[in-house]
């Protein structure tokens, strides 16, 4: 309750540097400029920036369509977007979930009837951390979109090692079969919008999409806060 009272009593602060700002869940001008906003454009399918081309799909998606029908991220993964994600995850700054949701909200695609599903944590990690950061973001986004969020439909059925330092093939192997969707009837033919904080190689999201499809989901999309934009993947 005190948190609520304080939120009203104190002036809003920048989510990046804590400087006093005009509105809640926003950034000051300096922090705003250091973030690379990605918007809804880019490759129609994976959202990777397509600079100075009028191509609709990137070369990668043309060669092999990814398991997700649509992927969008609010910002590119960089120093500040990383700190925001870490502060939410490990620093327990849960208000940042609301900030992320604010900037992820405009990225919704044409699917208006969908089930929102956060990328789940393994129950052991959930127990340690006490919350799923993607679940918090999904809850705020669900309110903004007026869309149902199901926190239990998708499960991480086995713990996965940290993917940091692994190449794409190793990541794929590490998360293969790690997810399972439990309610096939509810999913049948439905559009699912996966919610995540950070998208790196996409192997976790792909494994989630595979599990959802196996349980009958139709279209699977992903909206996340930050994504790694590899310069090598840019189509110029
Ligand atoms: Zn700032
Ligand atoms: Zn693409």
The per-residue pLDDT for range 158-207, each reduced to its tens digit, is: 989 888 888 888 999 999 999 999 877 889 999 999 999 999 888 999 99
- 3-class DSSP state of 43: coil
Phi, psi for 220 (deg, rounded to 5) = -125, 125
**d(CA 121, ligand 1 centre) in Å:** 30
**d(CA 192, ligand 2 centre) in Å:** 19
Q: Tell me the whole-structure pTM to 2 decimals.
A: 0.91
**d(CA 229, ligand 1 centre) in Å:** 23
**d(CA 87, ligand 1 centre) in Å:** 14
pLDDT in tens, 144-155: 999 999 999 999
Dihedral (Cα; 64, 47, 209, 200), 10-degree rounding: 100
**d(CA 188, ligand 1 centre) in Å:** 44
Q: How far apart are CA 29 and CA 19, in angstroms?
A: 10
Q: Please name which ligand lies nearest the alpha carbon of 83.
A: 1
**d(CA 73, ligand 1 centre) in Å:** 20
**d(CA 49, ligand 2 centre) in Å:** 9
**d(CA 63, ligand 1 centre) in Å:** 40
Q: How far apart are CA 2 and CA 185, in angstroms?
A: 42
Average pLDDT (75-87) is: 96
């Amino acid at each position: 309750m005190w948190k609520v009272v304080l939120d009203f009593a104190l002036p809003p602060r920048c989510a990046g540097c804590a400087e006093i700002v005009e509105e809640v869940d926003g950034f000051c001008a300096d922090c705003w400029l250091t973030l690379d906003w990605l918007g809804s454009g880019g490759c129609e399918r994976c959202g990777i920036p397509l600079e100075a081309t009028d191509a609709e799909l990137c070369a990668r998606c043309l060669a092999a369509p990814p398991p997700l029908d649509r992927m969008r991220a609010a910002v590119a993964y960089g120093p500040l977007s990383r700190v925001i994600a870490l502060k939410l995850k490990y620093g327990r700054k849960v208000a940042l979930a609301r900030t992320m949701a604010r900037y992820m909200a405009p990225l919704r695609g044409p699917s208006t009837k969908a089930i929102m599903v956060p990328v789940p944590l393994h129950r052991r990690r959930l127990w340690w951390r006490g919350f799923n950061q993607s679940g918090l973001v999904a809850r705020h986004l669900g309110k903004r979109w007026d869309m149902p969020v199901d926190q239990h439909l998708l499960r991480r059925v086995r713990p996965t090692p940290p993917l940091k330092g692994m190449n794409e093939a190793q990541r794929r192997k590490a998360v293969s079969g790690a997810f399972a969707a439990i309610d096939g009837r509810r999913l049948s033919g439905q559009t699912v919008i996966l919610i995540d904080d950070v998208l790196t190689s996409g192997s976790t999201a792909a494994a989630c999409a595979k599990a959802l499809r196996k349980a009958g989901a139709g279209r699977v999309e992903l909206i996340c806060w930050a994504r790694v934009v590899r310069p090598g993947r840019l189509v110029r």
